[in-house]
A and B are shown apart, each in its own frame.
Chain A
Amino acid sequence: MKLIDANKLTALAAALARAGYRVVAPVEDSGVVRLKEWAEGAAIRTGAVPVNSAKDFLFPPSEIIGRWDLDGDDFMPRDVQPDAPKTVLLAVRPCDAAALALLDTVFNWDYKDDFYNARRQAVTVVPMVCTAADEQCFCTSVGGAPDATAGADAMLRPADGGTRFILEPLTDKGNALLDAAGLALAEGEAAADPPVEIARRFDVEAVTEWLSRNFESDLWPALSLACLGCGACAYACPTCHCFDIQDEATRRESVRLKNWDSCGFGLFTLHAGGHNPRPDQTARWRNRVMHKFSYIPERFALVGCTGCGRCARVCGAGMSMSEVCRLIADETKKAPTHES
């Protein structure tokens, strides 16, 4: 098996960078661990779940999807190509990789989004098995696991008490990555460390079932009251894929941008005529929960949440998706009341 010492991940990153990969890895940035493009000299931090998700590198916060030369009232379209460098997502988390099934589906649902697909094809996904979790992690409640391999091209498995990693290829892309790593990896034997145990917090099928018959429920205002509508949860989320399309222009040129958006924003659904189907934060938060745990299961037979807990870590109001789901699941255990 292929091994690398735990303190030599940067050597692996350097070898992959030399082999032509853009290396994305968890590095310290302004005091937090963030997934970003690795540069020579940056330490790779595997001890904390990064604040952002791997989605950023497949579906970037802002992306040019159209470009025109402007000349007075005339315009001339120019070709736009996706910016899709060969990339490795190194030491991301199984909950990042688990999100790919949904992103792949949404961006190819009848119509194919080649901006996403070009990046997706250029990416090699190498999650790290989690041997530690924090109080926000709940992957096991939504069908995931700290050692899940869904969406992974290769797995980094902590071994021998965290002193080294086993790099295990799972796909052709994974094999190519191992070849590219070359001498950064050593051949040898090691004992994989057990993944962290994460207790199941709620029954996700019970949540989906409750949502299917509780669009109107007295519970929604209570569940959503703390929401500030800041959208941080959507930006940190590995599966949130809503976007806006906006033009930005100078006198000579206009670009059309696909920018991240959030169903938590008041303008998200506001009609030109003034009507807003989701006029308050309760309606907007309900859509967020419904989309992930009712609509996506109904449409795609997937769950729109991978249990990464990032939304709760970044929420300024202390809201937590797992807590909301637990409260909903608790509802289903209550005895039926007057409802026939």
Chain B
Amino acid sequence: MSPDPDQAQAVQQPGGNLYAPITMTIAESRDETYDVRTLRLQFPGETERAAFFEKYRVGMFGLYGVPGAGESAFCIASPPTQDQYIECTFRKAGRVTTALCDREVGQAITFRGPYGNFFPIEQWKGKNIVFIAGGIALPPIRAVIWNVLDRRDEFGRLTIVYGARTVADLVYKHELQQWQKRKDVKLILTVDPGGETDDWKGEIGFVPMVLEKAAPSAENAVAVVCGPLIMIKFTLLPLKQLNFPDAHAYTTLENRMKCGVGKCGRCNVGSLYVCKDGPVFTIEQLKNLPQGDL
């Protein structure tokens, strides 16, 4: 869970520019919702690809940018088991994400990373996993889900509870359909009351309530929660009622970041840096953070 000095060594060329990104080419561009897009990015060469995947573990993040607009931190939304490309999924919200949205297939963007710590999935072998996500927070969880599905035999039962405000806000709809069809995944979809459409067949209700109703067993299980802070906070109660120990429940935090490497000083929550001590934290760690700094 702590930063890995070897990783830091590997990320940086000796004597190199810590802030210099590599140039990636957009291989695919998909609209997930009216304002959320996924880009599939190809590495400039085999050296960069191999160097990336040597370091990359699921849960790490990167900085994606367009020269002239800037760079922004998002998770890496694809797993290390899909090792020819990376994907990022982001909401068009400001200058950088608008510039990223304006890029077309075949054009380039900049990338640096991977940074931060990762989900300890090697410790989850043989365990059941409950994924709980809300809205635009599915991308980091989606990387874990695919990582686990690509190594399906090594893990136990998989339950996914995913909700959004409205049906239109659900991301990765084509993948939700795939997961729905699989017999080895239990997917529960929900939208907030009022966000349903006439043909909506999923649940209607907030994620914490739907989780409580679904009541996945905590026995031999870990939970992975990601969503808006308010959703995470309200999910802690059902997790506790279901007897998930705080040390076996994980989340990933996102704060405004600039450097991604523990220098620019803005992503800290208390004395912990989201970019270096995180972004992955256990619920136990989360509860010990100064709540007024979240």
Contact = CB atoms under 8 A, between A and B. Distances in A.
Interface of A: 65-66, 68, 70, 73-75, 77, 80, 106-107, 109-115, 215-216, 241-247, 249, 254, 256, 258, 261, 263, 268-273, 275, 277-278, 283, 287, 290-291, 294-295, 298-299
Interface residues of B, number: 51
A172 to B, nearest CB: 22
B45 interface: no
Given A111-B18, A256-B67, A295-B268, 6 more contacts: A113-B263, A115-B17, A215-B293, A243-B258, A243-B263, A272-B256
Contacts of B107: 73-74
B251 interface: no
B120 interface: no
B200 interface: no
A218 to B, nearest CB: 13
B24 to A, nearest CB: 12
Nearest to B271: A295
Interface string B256-268: 1011011111101
A7 to B, nearest CB: 42
SS of B interface (majority)? loop
Contacts, number: 141
B8 interface: yes
A114 B18 contact: yes
Interface of B: 3, 5, 8, 11-12, 15-21, 23, 65, 67-72, 91, 93-94, 97, 103-104, 107-108, 136, 228-229, 254-256, 258-259, 261-266, 268-271, 276, 290, 292-294
11 contacts: A109-B276, A111-B8, A113-B18, A114-B16, A115-B18, A215-B292, A242-B264, A243-B259, A271-B254, A272-B94, A287-B293
B107 to A, nearest CB: 6
Contacts of A291: 265, 268
B68 A249 contact: yes
Contacts of B104: 73
